[in-house]
Homo-oligomer: A and B are copies of this chain.
Amino acid sequence: MINVDEAYRIILENISTLPIQEVNIKGAVGLCLAEDAVSDIDMPPFDKSSMDGYAVIAEDTLSASGQPVELGVIEGVAAGQMPQKKVERGQATKIMTGAALPQGADAVIKVEDTEPMQGPKVRLLKGMKKGENVCPRGEDFQAGQVVLKRATTLRPQEIGILAMIGMGKVKVYSSPKVGIISTGDELVEVGRKPTGGQIRDSNSHCLAAQVSLTRAEVECFGTARDDRKSLIHMIKKGLRKDLLLLTGGVSMGEYDLVVGVLKELGVNLFFEKVAMKPGKPIVFGKYYKTAVFALPGNPVATYVSCELFVRPAIRKMMGFTQLSRTIVKAQLETPLRSRGERREFRPTWLRLEDGRLSASPVEWHGSADLLGTTRANSLLIVPEGVESYSAGQEVEVMLTGEL
């Protein structure tokens, strides 16, 4: 049986980045840039005033006597306008934040540092240095410059930059189309009340939510019965997606047909088990370009294996370079025991206080107890061979969302 690292490596080796597509920047936040973004302009596009005030010649602003200087105001320039007149010695141009500096001027004095006068004149209450309150042309970036590199994640600020440089449309890597099938005769739809040995299908809903947060496109095909025909029918539909996720039907019992049907349909399986807890029976394969995961039916096992393996696979398809969740070191609050056989992932509450991370594994009853994970924001990792941790020890914890 392979371990978690080996499984991760095999999965990523067999996942390719999806084709590039062009999208409007209005819907591009969270996607991954598939081209270098090159500016077509200098930013700022001209020497620019960073204040409301008066464009002046710095040398003019300090009188020998230390008395306030008075300058003649020759025009007013708003943002969006271009100055028409050159500022000569003894002159000033009234200027707004963001407006272009007139020729001749080399500084802007804030309106708060001036006094209004009768007629087209202004009194300066302060001396200025050359360049003060002026952003020189091209200071932030220049025409022809790569401002965002390929493989950058598009956050709001990157979207803003793309708008600045005129890229209203942008090339990104496509998001995968993901199909989800839950399997098992014991499953009933959410709307029905389970009777006898039945339970409601929760895995496809939890998985769909996990997948949708990656910005992949999810389709739930519903529940397949534990019979060959039902499985073949649904899996065939699912194999048209970029990624097919199955849950349930991969444990040892004779009623578990999923692996057999996958093989029968020609899915090339790379592994069928991973030494981890929860979640040992985890199947990964490929069918032409379609990646296939069959995840264990226990809700927490499904949840954890999606975080560990499916999410990185999706992120690789989407072109990202940072694939897995962040792992942090934290101080354990309460002692903890493990079997020490397989690597274990324990739902945990991670708390940040005074710059110190502390981890408290939540109470839970094993891999069916999804309610336990609602009290957690992370997964504590117990490596193979570790049978106990004592309180105060340093442990590794995988974040499963924002802290």
Residues on A lying within 8 angstroms of B by beta carbon are: 25-26, 29-30, 40-41, 43-46, 48, 50, 52, 77-82, 96-100, 111-112, 135, 139-141, 147-148, 152, 155-168, 184-187, 189-194, 196-210, 212-213, 220, 226, 251-253, 255, 297-299, 303, 326, 328-330, 352, 354-355, 357, 365-374, 394, 399, 401-403
Contacts and interface: CB of A to CB of B under 8 A. Distances in A.
Contacts of A41: 193-194
B148 A374 contact: yes
23 contacts: A29-B209, A29-B213, A52-B253, A78-B186, A78-B226, A79-B184, A79-B185, A80-B226, A81-B196, A98-B298, A139-B365, A140-B372, A148-B374, A155-B374, A155-B401, A156-B206, A157-B373, A160-B303, A161-B202, A166-B192, A168-B189, A168-B190, A328-B352
Contacts of A52: 251-253
Nearest to A281: B97
Given A252-B111, A366-B135, A166 B200 contact: yes
Most buried by B among A155, A203, A357: A155
Contact of A210 (B141, B156, B368): B156
A203 B45 contact: no
- Each complex incorporates copies of this chain amounting to 2
Contacts of A201: 163
Nearest to A80: B186
Contact of A97 (B148, B187, B253, B403): B253
A392 to B, nearest CB: 14
B80 A185 contact: yes
Contacts of A193: 40-41, 166
A135 to B, nearest CB: 6
Most buried by B among A97, A372, A403: A97
Given A163-B200, A190-B167, A394-B355, A26 B253 contact: no
B98 A184 contact: yes
A112 to B, nearest CB: 8
B403 A156 contact: no
Given A81-B196, A255-B96, A370 B44 contact: no
Contact of A212 (B29, B139, B210): B29
Most buried by B among A46, A147, A202, A365: A202
